[in-house]
Amino acid sequence: MSVPIPDDVVWPRGRLRLSERVHVMGILNVTPDSFSDGGLHADPDSAVEAALRMVEEGADIIDVGGESTRPGAPEVPADEEIRRVASVIGNLREKSRVPISIDTRKAAVARAALDAGADIVNDVSALRDDPALGPLCAERECPVVLMHMKGTPRTMQADPRYGDVVAEVRDFLTDAVSRAEDAGIARELTIVDPGIGFGKTVAHNLELVNRLDELGETGRPVLLGASRKSFIGKTLDIDSPAERLEGTLAVTALGVARGARIMRVHDVKANVRVVRMAEAVTATR
């Protein structure tokens, strides 16, 4: 299987060298209620320490989130989300030049995060929730991750249905890239994410991973975020998210083989090793 390698993503303050290697994005949730690590990094100092450990373990990007988007999660007010993320991002920026992503759907939060030193906006709504977010990203010339989600975090797992899940997700992401361009965001700054677990059944998620290479038809780099998610637990009959490492690593290896260029993960060291090994194998084709 041959998947085209995308160009680098370049913005005024940085570059993701995706033409050279797959990148690993470390997850830093500063929330009390995220599905896997809620409450672990509520203290800003411990959050920064955790981020720096992930950088030491090989993370290319740190993704900071202040609002849980697990199934059924309530929305967090913008001022509370800013309180959770801004100081962590500012302190991390003082200590490291690693690219920082802000995981948010809100323009006010993205603005505060970018002011604090973030580089990338990771929007699970693909610029649909807040009409001010697209123009803000265009103004700041920052990369934007556009994710597929059916419904909202509160409703997305209420009997999701598709004809062909991969085709529908691909078409959605193609439209999302066009929507970003209409907002003034350069196409070269967009990254697409199929939204594993966001309005999908176990079967939908497995098919998306298996056919991930078809999302290359969007013409944009693909980010895959499957780490510790419930479809792995249901497939392997494992209730605890913390016990889903092996399943996550299997998806990581398959994701690399199917063309993903950014892997969003909790367990950085193990996933970096799998990514490098998978790249070495696929390079022989």
Q: Are 116 and 93 in contact (CB under 8 A)?
A: yes
C-beta separation of 260 from 3 below 8 A: no
Is 264 assigned a catalytic role? Answer: yes
Residues facing residue 144 across a β-bridge: 121, 190
Q: For residue 77, count other CB atoms closer than 10 A to its CB.
A: 12
| Sign of the torsion angle spanned by Cα atoms 135, 220, 206, 103 | negative
> Residues with Cβ < 8 Å from 150, sequence gap 6 or more?
156, 160, 198, 199, 200
Read off the tokens for 283: 């390079």
DSSP string, 95-111: H--S-EEEE-S-HHHHH
CA 244 distance to own-chain centroid: 18
- Radius of gyration, CA atoms only, the chain: 17
Six-digit token string for 7: 């160009």
- Characterize 8-21 residue by residue with b for buried, 16 or more Cβ atoms within 10 angstroms of its Cβ, and e for exposed: ebebeebebebeee
Q: Which of 140, 229, 244, 261 is catalytic?
A: 229
Pairing of strands 190-193, 9-11: unpaired
Write down the catalytic residue from 70, 220, 258, 264: 264
DSSP-assigned beta bridge partners for residue 64: 28, 102
> Chain centroid to CA 180: how far?
17
Active site residues: 229, 264
